[in-house]
Amino acid sequence: MPLLHISMRAGKPDAYRQAILDGLYRAMREALNVPEGDEFMSISELAPANFRCGNAYGVNRSDDAVLIQITVFASRTPAQKKALYRRIAELLGDNPGIRPEDVFVNVLDAPAENWSVGNGIAQFA
C-alpha cells in the first residue's frame, strides 16, 4: 500500500509526468511486490522559486531533479528498498530520461494501523 508524492519544477509536459508515474508504479510492482491497481500517487509542480535541490552528498543535481517520497507499511526489508531505489533510477532514466543523479528517493515506514484506505476504517490494523 505505498503512498507516493513527487515534487518537481513546473513546466514538463503531461507525457513526461505520466512516464514518471508509470515508472514508479512499475518499480514498486517489481521491487516491492505491490499488487496490480495499487496506485496512490501525486505530483506537485513547483515554481523555481519554490523548489531547491542542493548538491550535497557528492551528487551533482540539475533543475530536472525529482523528489520522491514513498510511504509504505513498515514491513519492507533493506534489500527491497535498495532494489526499489535502483529500479526507480533505471526506469526513470529510460523514460522520461531523468539522470540518476536527479532521482532523490525517501522511503517512510508506517505501521499498518496508520492507514485507512477508505470508508473511515483501518483496514490493515
Q: Residue 2 has what pLDDT?
A: 94
Nearest to 64 by CA among 21, 5, 4, 10: 10
Per-residue pLDDT tens over the stretch 97-125: 999 999 999 999 998 899 888 999 988 88
Per-residue pLDDT tens over the stretch 18-64: 999 999 999 999 999 999 999 999 999 999 999 999 999 999 999 99
Q: Which domains does the chain carry?
A: 2-54+62-119 (3.30.429.10)
What pLDDT band is residue 76 in, cutting at 50, 70 and 90? Answer: very high
